[in-house]
Amino acid sequence: MTAATQTVQAQASPADHRGDVLSVDNLRVELRVEKGLLAAVDDISFKLKQGETLGIVGESGCGKSMTALAIMGLLPRPIGRISQGSITLDGVGELTKMREGSMKQVRGNHISMIFQEPMTSLNPVFTVGFQISEAIRTHERLSGEAVKKRAIEMLEMVGIPLPEMRYSSYPHQLSGGMRQRVMIAMALACRPQIMLADEPTTALDVTIQAQILKLMNRLKAEIGTSIIFITHDLGVIAKMTQRVLVMYAGVVVEEAAVRDLFKKPLHPYTAGLLKSIPRVDREAGRQRTLHTIKGVVPNMLALPRGCRFSDRCPDVHEPCRKWEPPLAAADEAPDGPRRVRCWLHRKPPTDA
């Protein structure tokens, strides 16, 4: 049994009927590159419930980060655009049609984001206290003293020692783990409905990573913020999420409750990812080659005909190379319905 599977089995996260705070419907994100127009995100739909942590997992270049940037209204301009679909935030409305001035009020106040490397996200010429305070001043009418007090409280909340002193520190004076805690403090300063975390622990060592994950779970419970956690690490997915989207080459290939996904992956790509996790229950002294998924992610400008995973799939058969499968409902699972994009779980069309 993998450590990730043990974590999943220990989680008590039965399906519930909490309201949706975010609805993404048929989202398509296009990027204009030198060789043409590519769909970095292609027809993605999902919902995020109040207080839920939704995981988005997949290899680099699969569209995870572009999905997050589209939600935040931060797609690279002028090459990136939302060409189809809608993003609806509860209590705010449809985000894709909003002007930039309105989106500035949404960002930080309703939706916030934690990026992978805090040194590229924190401004090196301003103190961390100033940067947290700026986020508060943008969205709340508070006196200067009240803003500073809130910023120090946020530093204390995320577990930074001597918060009054660290308020005046510059990013380069802090360790990587402390900088990431500052980013979390900034993201939560205005108590947003949703927090997007894009690979927030990748650059950290495993000890600090565990501390950050524990901190995020604690703050979610205290504040009630919903989280979209983006990563390539299924171990992190097991620790953090209740539901998972597995992405490949710009599309969702499987969606399931985290316990169902680990217990019985339906898509061959998901199964390959799970087999690639190092196991902790091997017999002492017994060596075993780590499983890998053969091949590479396809060129997004030259996708294979049919299923996008067909060139790498161990279970490929004739329909897979002719038709792209839809993302369709699969068997009803204990923790709720699930979807999978695979002809192994759906009758393919006929040539007629």
Count of CB atoms within 10 A of residue 352's CB?
3
Confidence at residue 219, expressed as pLDDT on a 0 to 100 scale: 84
Q: What angle do CA 256, 259, 262 make, to 5 degrees?
A: 85
Cis peptide before 78 (omega within 30 of 0): yes
- Name the residue among 81, 257, 292, 118 with its Cα closest to residue 199: 118
Residue 6 corresponds to which tokens in the numbers above? Answer: 């043990």
> How far apart, in whole angstroms, are the C-alpha atoms of residue 19 and residue 17?
6
For domain 3-110+192-252, give its CATH number from 3.40.47.10, 3.40.50.300, 3.30.565.60, 3.10.129.10.
Answer: 3.40.50.300
> Running along the chain, 352 residues long, what does each successive block of 10 average in pLDDT?
49 57 96 91 94 93 94 93 95 92 90 82 93 89 90 91 95 91 89 91 82 86 91 89 96 95 94 84 61 88 93 93 93 75 89 54
pTM above 0.75?
yes
Give 332's contacts (C-beta < 8 A, 6+ positions apart): none
Give 165's contacts (C-beta < 8 A, 6+ positions apart): none
Confidence at residue 168, expressed as pLDDT on a 0 to 100 scale: 96
218 to each of 98, 111, 192, 197, how far by Cα in Å? 33, 18, 15, 15
Taking the domains of the chain in order of start, what are their residue ranges? 3-110+192-252
Confidence at residue 281, expressed as pLDDT on a 0 to 100 scale: 60
The residue type at 239: K
Confidence at residue 14, expressed as pLDDT on a 0 to 100 scale: 42
Confidence at residue 9, expressed as pLDDT on a 0 to 100 scale: 46
Confidence at residue 334, expressed as pLDDT on a 0 to 100 scale: 64
Confidence at residue 12, expressed as pLDDT on a 0 to 100 scale: 38
Given a contact cutoff of 8 angstroms between Cβ atoms, the answer to whether 111 and 196 are in contact is: yes
